Amino acid sequence: MDTPVYPAHNYLSNGHGLKSWLLTKDHKRIAMLYLISISIFFFLGGLFAVGIRLELTTPQGDLFQPDTYNKFFTLHGVMMVFFFLIPSVPAVIGNFFIPPMIGAKDLAFPRINLLSWYIYVVGGLFALFAIVAGGVDTGWTFYTPYSSVSSSTNVTATALGVFIAGFSSILTGLNFIVTIHRMRAPGLHWFKLPLFVWAHYATSLIQVLGTPVVAITIVMIFVERAFGFGIFDPQRGGDPVLMQHLFWFYSHPAVYIMILPAMGVISEIISTFSRKRIFGYSFVAFSSLAIAVFGFIVWAHHMFVAGISVYSAMVFSFLSFSVAIPSAVKVFNWAATLHRGSLSFEAPMLYVYGFFGLFLIGGLTGLFLATLGTDIHLHDTYFVVAHFHYIMVGGAIMGYLGGLHFWWPKMIGRMYSEFWSRISAILVFVGFNLTFFPQFMLGYMGMPRRYHMYPPEFQVLNVLSSAGASVLGLGYIIPVIYFLYSIKKGAVAGNNPWGASGLEWRTQSPPLTENFVDVPTDIPEAYEYTPQVVREAKLV
């Protein structure tokens, strides 16, 4: 095997200086801008989580003032949901790889792509302003009337930040939809697309259809706070429950904005590291669409104790199970893909195995919350907290980190430390389970979420959870170090270090600004592995 050479001309070398980055229209550079900005928000949100876990090691609530604690969990939620998880996989990995995966030179609207990053930054600045000005304490859900009349914190600035960042998400989704429809290389029809692209198509549908609804909801909260209007104000006949309906009409599908792209990543990695076509390709592809569609008709399962009628609760419970089926289908198909594969276990694959464990538990615990009889008890307890962290952290972040490890050699052109990446994947998995599994037990014991103090019988499990969080934190910090180190010092990766089959691996690493010298015209089936493909990949 020849030693690969780092290409002299690539998108990173095409222009230097701040201006060449801040005015770039290259989707790959914009993806890197997103990577940097969402990482900042991730670690900021993580800091607030550290505060939360420290406080909860003792029952008395003796470390921070209650108001401080309330701001911590609110800001943790706002940062992580709106400024990290929602943009994470789509805006970084999707942005970078959808065009090369479909043989395009760029997204359909490069300027709008850059604009959406600027919008995100402006939204983020609003949120940061809210922190600097004293924080916000409504919870990331902004429930009225607390958010509109009771809270005296910076709700307006935060809500505006979320509103603005929402348009960034809409524009990203719009760009992907148009790109996937109109920019595919000749001969690349829908059923030759990587499942990553299918997942992003489904995600984009949610982004363009759901986000405007939460945007208008925030506008209505905004006019209540800013102008004294009374749309959800019970004093004037308004209905705070209506606000919850509107909020969850977006925010439940938003969960799928976070998890679907991660599922797309999982499909790519599994196929690559087992050198095998994804089992039941079309079922996995359509299950993404099914999740996106069903995701829109289950929102009221967040409101089973919020005064919806017995019958609507039953309808929404029934529908909520419907979204479990396509998720289960995906998991079974992935597991079946491994059967008779040629499996190797570099860091990306370890993340996939971690994803298996965590997403299974996360998904299955959703059944407890979709089932009416148990949800009444579990609603608004730590069980819910544990469940959605298993999905969003265990599912989405495992997918995101797996994806970063998988495509990092393509993005940077160099390899990171194999040893440390495996260590960190294991630390994340162990730390995560230690942090969040006890919270299921706490939830069934009845500990409500967002509690600053708690009865002493909950302490043992809380201490376990905090201990796990420190392991998890370590697992998140190590990759920063070896990724940064690899940028200058890593071994040159070559075009296709994993022997993967996707179009993005045919170009050099890091790619040219135009992605391809000659756009590929001989489009194979998706995930076609032959001995020849592998041999060529390794040698180029």
Partner 1 sequence: MGGIPLFPEAASAFAGRVDALYIFIVLVSAFFTVAVSVAVIWFAFRYRRRHAEEIGAHIEGSLPLELAWSIIPTIIAMVMFAWGATLYYEMRRPPAEALQVYAVGKQWMWKFQHPSGQREINELHVPLGRPVKVLVTSEDVLHDLYFPAFRTKIDAIPGRYQPLWFTATKPGRYHIFCAEYCGTKHSGMIGTVVVMEPQQYQDWLTGDLNEGTMAERGGRLFGDLACNTCHLDDGQGRGPSLKDIFARPVELTDGTSVLVDESYLRESILNSQSRVVKGFTPLMPTFQGLISEEGLAALIEHIKSLSPQATAPAPTPAAAPSTSTPAAPAQGAGR
Partner 2 sequence: MSNPIAHAAAGHGPAGHDFATADGHGHGHHPALQHHFSTMDQQREAGVLGMWVFLLTEVLFFGGLFLTYTIYRTWYYEAFAAASKSITISWGLINTAVLIGSSLTMALGVRAAQTNQRKATVNWLLATIFLGTLFLGIKVIEYADKFEHHHVPGPHFVFASEHEGAEGGAAEHAAPAAAEGGHVMTMGPDELQRTTQLFFSLYFTMTGLHALHMIVGIVILFIVAWMAHKGRFDSEYFAPVEMTGLYWHFVDIVWIFLFPLLYLVERHN
* CA 354 – CA 405 distance, rounded (Å): 14
Nearest to 137, CA basis, from 223, 70, 68: 70
5 binds partner 1 (CB under 8 A): no
Residue bearing tokens 């148990």: 374
- In terms of Cα–Cα distance, which of 73, 44, 236, 67 is closest to 152? 67
CB of 424 to partner 1, least distance (A): 19
Contact between 332 and partner 1 by CB under 8 A: the answer reads yes
Cα three-residue angle 395-399-403, rounded to 5 degrees: 175
Residues 6+ apart with CB under 8 A from 3: 492
Nearest residue to 382 (alpha-carbon basis) of 317, 437, 327: 437
Distances (CA, A) of 215 to 246, 248, 448: 10, 12, 29
516 near partner 2, judged by CB under 8 A: yes
- Which partner from the list partner 1, partner 2, none does 507 bind, CB cut-off 5 to 8 Å by kind? none
The closest alpha carbon to 380, from 76, 388, 162, belongs to 388
Kindly state the smallest distance separating residue 209's Cβ from partner 1, in Å. Answer: 25
Instruction: Tell which one of 37, 70, 158, 179 touches partner 1 (CB under 8 A).
Output: 70
Report the residue from 81, 91, 104, 411 that binds partner 2 according to the rule CB under 8 A: 104
Distance between CA 84 and CA 73 in Å, rounded? 15
Structure tokens at 77: 């939620």
Nearer to partner 1, 35 or 323 (CB): 323
Cis peptide before 511 (omega within 30 of 0): no
Among the residue ranges 228-236, 379-387, 432-440, 497-505, the one whose residues contact partner 2 (CB under 8 A): 228-236
Query: Among 8, 18, 310, 517, which residue sits at the site for partner 2 (rule: CB under 8 A)?
Result: 517
Out of 110, 230, 446, 520, name the contact with partner 1 by CB under 8 A: 446
Residue 143 or 516 having the CB closest to partner 2: 516
Q: What is the CA radius of gyration of the chain?
A: 23
Q: Which does 451 bind (CB under 5 to 8 A by kind): partner 1, partner 2, none?
A: partner 1
According to the binding rule CB under 8 A, does residue 519 interact with partner 1? no
Task: Choose between 204 and 439: whose C-beta lies nearer to partner 2.
Answer: 204
Site membership for partner 2, residue 237 (CB under 8 A): yes
Task: Give the total of residues touching partner 2 (CB under 8 A).
Answer: 55
- Binding partner at 516 among partner 1, partner 2, none, C-beta below 5 to 8 Å by kind: partner 2
| Partner from partner 1, partner 2, none contacting 178, C-beta within 5 to 8 A by type | partner 2
Residues 336-365 that bind partner 1 (CB under 8 A): 336, 338-345, 353, 356-357, 360-361, 364-365
Print burial letters for 91-119: b (CB count within 10 Å at least 16), e (below 16): bbbbbbbbbbbbbbbbbbbbebbbbbbeb
Q: Whose Cβ is closer to partner 1: residue 110's or residue 357's?
A: 357
Written as six digits, the tokens of 151 are: 């809270």
The interface partner of residue 524, options being partner 2, partner 1, none and the CB cut-off 5 to 8 Å by kind, is none
Toward partner 1, which CB reaches closer, 176 or 248?
A: 248
Q: Give the interface segment with partner 1, choosing from 78-86, 135-143, 466-474, 504-512 (CB under 8 A).
A: 135-143
Q: Given candidates 22, 307, 456, 477, which one binds partner 1 under the rule CB under 8 A?
A: 307
The tokens for 40 are: 């900042």
Half-sphere exposure of 391 (CA within 13 A, CB side): 23
Q: Which is nearer to partner 1, 39 or 371 (CB)?
A: 371
Q: Are 284 and 278 in contact (CB under 8 A)?
A: yes
Tokens standing for residue 183: 């920019």
CB of 419 to partner 1, least distance (A): 19
How far apart are the C-alpha atoms of 175 and 247, rounded to whole Å?
24
Residue closer to partner 1, measured from CB, 305 or 484: 305
User: Interface mask (CB under 8 A) for partner 1, residues 225-254, using x and -?
Assistant: ---------xx-x-xxx-------------
**3-state DSSP call for residue 299?**
helix
As a whole number of angstroms, the distance between CA 356 and CA 425 comes to 13
| Dist. CA 248–CA 297, nearest whole Å | 10
Q: Which does 325 bind (CB under 5 to 8 A by kind): partner 2, partner 1, none?
A: partner 1
CA angle 536, 538, 540 (to 5 degrees): 65
Does residue 324 interact with partner 2 by CB under 8 A? no
DSSP symbol at 448: B
- Phi/psi for 45 (5° steps) reads -60, -35
Shortest gap between Cβ of 350 and partner 1 (angstroms)? 10
Q: How many whole angstroms from its chain centre is CA 50?
A: 20
Of the residues 89, 174, 369, 427, which one makes contact with partner 2 according to CB under 8 A: 174
Restricting to residues 17-56, name those near partner 1 by CB under 8 A. Answer: none
Give the number of other CB atoms < 10 A from CB of residue 383: 26
For partner 1, the binding residue among 24, 333, 424, 507 (CB under 8 A) is: 333
Find the binding residues for partner 2 in span 181-220 (CB under 8 A): 181-183, 185-186, 208-213, 215-217, 219-220
- Stretch 310-329: interaction string toward partner 1, x if CB under 8 A: x--xx--xx--x--xx--xx
Q: How far apart are CA 387 and CA 380, in angstroms?
A: 11
List contacts with partner 2 (CB under 8 A).
104-106, 108-112, 115, 119, 167, 170-171, 174-175, 177-179, 181-183, 185-186, 208-213, 215-217, 219-220, 223-224, 227-231, 235-239, 242, 246, 513-514, 516-519, 521
